[in-house]
Amino acid sequence: MEEGTDPTVSGNVVAGGYTGIYIDAPTGSITGNTVLGSLLGITLVADGPSVKSNSTFNTVDYGIYVATNVAASVIESNTIRTVNQPGSLDTSGTGIELGCNTVSSSKVNSNTLLDLKYGYGNTLAGFAGSNTYVGVVTDVNPCTTDDVSKKASAAARLKFLGQSRGQ
């Protein structure tokens, strides 16, 4: 779901692929879907859409990947089971990856996380959430100081021939 749309994505079964459901829209809802065996289950790139009551099974890296600060989106009542790197004998993946973004526990909660290395990965200090954890090695894995400083440092943006300053 790309920018400029107001998608409602519900009741789908998605199997395989790089990302099961990718949402880069500022509004909408992702509800009641099942994602099986993709690299990333659901990827939230823009703040605004709700991600509720979805299930991801046997993804490789993350059940849900949050690639933005969250002030409006609500991510709740999702079930994430078994995130595992190929060839790994133990659980090795993360249920919900927050990427050191600013995300309130009140916006991401009531999720069921099963058979994972990390329930939540790369959380800022103070993140807790009220969730169900079963077979999870570490419920909440915080960002390190190094992770936060890398995220805060601005990278140079390339300018292409014919491109104005604001593009």
Residue 86, pLDDT score: 76
Query: Using 50, 70 and 90 to split pLDDT, how confident is the model at 158?
Result: very low
Residue 149, pLDDT score: 52
Let me know: does 46 contact 24? Beta carbons within 8 Å.
yes
Q: Tell whether the model's pLDDT for residue 161 goes beyond 70.
A: no
Closest CA to 111 of 15, 87, 103: 103
28-43 mean pLDDT = 95
Burial class, 53, CB count within 10 angstroms (exposed 0-12 / middle 13-18 / buried 19+): middle
| Percent of the chain that is helix, strand, coil (3-state, to 5) | 5, 45, 50
In whole numbers, what is the pLDDT of the chain averaged over residues?
A: 85
Q: Tell whether the model's pLDDT for residue 128 goes beyond 90.
A: no
Residue 6, pLDDT score: 65
